[in-house]
Chains A and B, each alone.
Chain A
Amino acid sequence: MTREAVPAERVREQSMVPYGGPQSYYGQPVLKEPVWTPEVPLYFYTGGLGGASAGLALMAELTGNHKLARRAWLNALAGVSVSPVLLISDLGKPSRFLNMLRLFKVTSPMSVGSWILAASGTATAAAVGSELTGMFPSAGRAAKVASALLGMPLATYTAGLVANTSIPAWHDARLTLPFVFAGSSAASAGAAAVITTPAKQAGAARRLAAGGALVSVAAALGMEKSLGELGEPYRKGLPGKLSRVAGALNLAGGALIATRARHSRPAALAGGAILTAGVIAERWAVFRAGFMSASDPKYTVGPQRARIERRRASS
């Protein structure tokens, strides 16, 4: 064997049973990654679409824009119908989905959210039923109000759902993420309405779409900044890419809608589609950022250790 011996110190650095360093146990994660599948970020979108569309529909109706209102109601129904299907499909035991309604627990955004979705879905279905058939008009009006009111928290509670975990990129964004989701939901409802509503009646939708896109991008940036080091997952790897793509798509779609959709049907369609892609990308970025934040122990250990040091220093 003529190979030169590698000095033991170098072997220690590179290739042996690693010493438990000050930061982690063999670099293993401290937290568990979520077990959720891509249905979940898709649900963020459909829930946001359903909830914000209901709000748009009610407001449109109140201002006499019935063409926009009807389309918005249909978008809302589409949103809240697809949502449960996605959620149930993501369950480990889908046949037991009704167990979500066994109790109402305020410490669990998923519990509260399941009720919101159930109530909102019912109200929206009733609202649309009355809208299309003209039957039970007063009940229908009440349902519409309920649907619109419930639609607001329906759109933003999912931010609370992910924030109410131990994953630093989510939990530490608990005060900022809801605004990202609010903006995205507005953009979702606006974009869908722009696609389905004739341009003359779609003005509110266009404003909602463009405004939502702006808020979504601004809120995302603000969230990421406020997270500091913990915001790294929104900049790195897959979630980073998605985040950047989302920002670009949101701005492009929003701009297209704001400037050209009024007079060009293709621009409206394209803008709506691009913006929809953008908001889905944004949801997906947030989703994947959580996985990355969970899988690297430094995001958990670093801030906690710093917190301990601060406590010690001040005591």
Chain B
Amino acid sequence: MSHSVLTLDTRTKADPRYGFFTDTSICIGCKACEVACKEWNQVPEDMQGFTGKSYDNTQALGANTWRHVAFVEQRVPVGQEAAAEDLVQAAERANASDGWGLDTYQDGEGIRWLMASDVCKHCTTAACLDVCPTGALFRTEYGTVVVQEDICNGCGYCVPACPFGVIDRREGDGRVWKCTLCYDRLKDDMEPACAHACPTKSIQFGELSELRERAEKRVEKLTAAGHTDARLYGADPDDGVDGFGAFFLLLDEPEVYGLPPDPVAPTHNVGQVWAGVFAGAAALGAGIAAAVLGGRR
């Protein structure tokens, strides 16, 4: 990802840096993460009612939901992942998993139920932080991104800046709120509430470099076992936000889970933005001059 001339390098330099690896292949959709987060952080309730969107009645991250479990029901042919290439590969996969498909129904079509716990990505280049005019959003010593609620004046700029649609303003409160990666718990050498509550360790907290290594191995293991759909999302330090502080292992394309497939922090183009602004300003100046001077002939 090229940086234009005027881009400041706002990537976090925290070392060691901490974050999440959310391995959605072992998420059982229990939502303990949602509840633990709300309990610890005293996040207000966020009743949406029955949505009919499988078991997801939470729908999205926002000011009052900092962990959100997504549910996607899919029909898949047995023994194959969603993106099978050719017969040879399909056969290899079938052998690798010793004939065990994901699920079997009578007519040979299986059901897959994807479950994934979404969270703020605590981006390496965090658009929310980069646009915050008050400095309420700041980078902690752990490399995470946190809102200082005693400074935020609710200008709302971070809300459309976030490429993932995470941060939002809280109704009746005026300020923006999002996952703090349990900053207060980290200060006391405790892991975040969601990681602590997750019964299957789908949510893993730790040093980011170590998590990335672990995640690579995990994808290798899954792929070898026939789950060729497994991939990491956000582990690449060359992606559009220079890598996520909270990255994921997904079993399908990101957009299936409601995530942008190729997110880019607008900060990467801020040079162009300013170039445009000043070109426009110059044009305005020239236009005014022309208008005033143009009548003297």
Q: Do A and B bind each other?
A: yes
Q: Which A residues contact B (CB, under 8 angstroms)?
A: 17-26, 28-36, 51-52, 55-56, 59-60, 62-63, 65, 90-97, 99-100, 102-103, 105-111, 114, 152-153, 155-157, 159-161, 163-167, 170-171, 174-179, 181-183, 185-186, 189-190, 203-205, 207-208, 211-212, 215, 290, 294, 297, 300-301, 304-305, 307-308
The answer to whether A305 and B261 touch across the interface, beta carbons within 8 angstroms, is yes
Of B52, B252, B260, which contacts A304 at CB under 8 A?
B260
| Residues of B with C-beta under 8 A to A111 | 131-133
What is the bound-complex CA distance between A203 and B290, given in angstroms? 12
Contact with B151, one of A92, A99, A152, A300 (Cβ below 8 angstroms): A99
- Closest CB of chain B to A79's CB: distance in Å? 14
With a 10 A CB-CB cut-off, give which of B135, B284, B293 has the most chain A CB atoms.
Answer: B284
Task: State A182–B276 Cα separation when bound (angstroms).
Answer: 11
Q: Among B258, B261, B288, which residue has its beta carbon within 8 angstroms of that of A308?
A: B261
If A91-B174, A175-B272 touch, does A59 touch B74 (CB 8 Å cutoff)?
A: no
Tell me how far the C-beta of B74 lies from the nearest C-beta in chain A, rounded to whole angstroms.
Answer: 6
- B256 in contact with A20 (CB, 8 Å): yes
B60 closest partner in A (C-beta): A28
Out of A29, A62, A297, A304, name the residue touching B262 (CB < 8 Å): A304
Q: Is B88 an interface residue (CB 8 A)?
A: no
Among B273, B291, B295, point to the contact of A186 (Cβ < 8 A): B291
With known contacts A63-B293, A155-B281, A31–B169 Cβ distance under 8 A: no
B138 to chain A, nearest CB (A): 10
Query: Is B8 among interface residues, defined by CB-CB distance under 8 A?
Result: yes
Q: A100-B155, A105-B133 in contact; A32/B162 too (CB < 8 A)?
A: yes
Instruction: Considering the complex, give the chain A residue whose CB is closest to the CB of B130.
Output: A107
Q: Is the CB of A211 within 8 A of B255?
A: no
Can you list 16 A-B contacts (CB < 8 A)?
A: A25-B257, A35-B159, A55-B285, A93-B153, A93-B175, A103-B135, A107-B267, A109-B277, A110-B131, A110-B157, A111-B131, A114-B133, A156-B278, A174-B272, A182-B284, A183-B287
A215 to B287, CA, bound (A): 10
B160 touches A96 (CB 8 A): no
> What 6 pairs between A and B have smallest CB-CB spacing?
A92-B154, A178-B280, A92-B174, A25-B258, A20-B72, A96-B153
Report B-chain residues with C-beta under 8 Å of the C-beta of A26. Answer: 53, 56, 258
CB–CB A56/B130 < 8 A: no
* Contact status of A109 and B273, CB under 8 A, knowing A25-B72, A152-B285, A304-B261: yes
Other A-B pairs, 4, CB within 8 Å; known A24-B258, A90-B156, A167-B160: A32-B165, A156-B280, A215-B287, A294-B160
Known: A19-B72, A165-B161, A166-B266. A105 touches B255 (CB 8 A): no
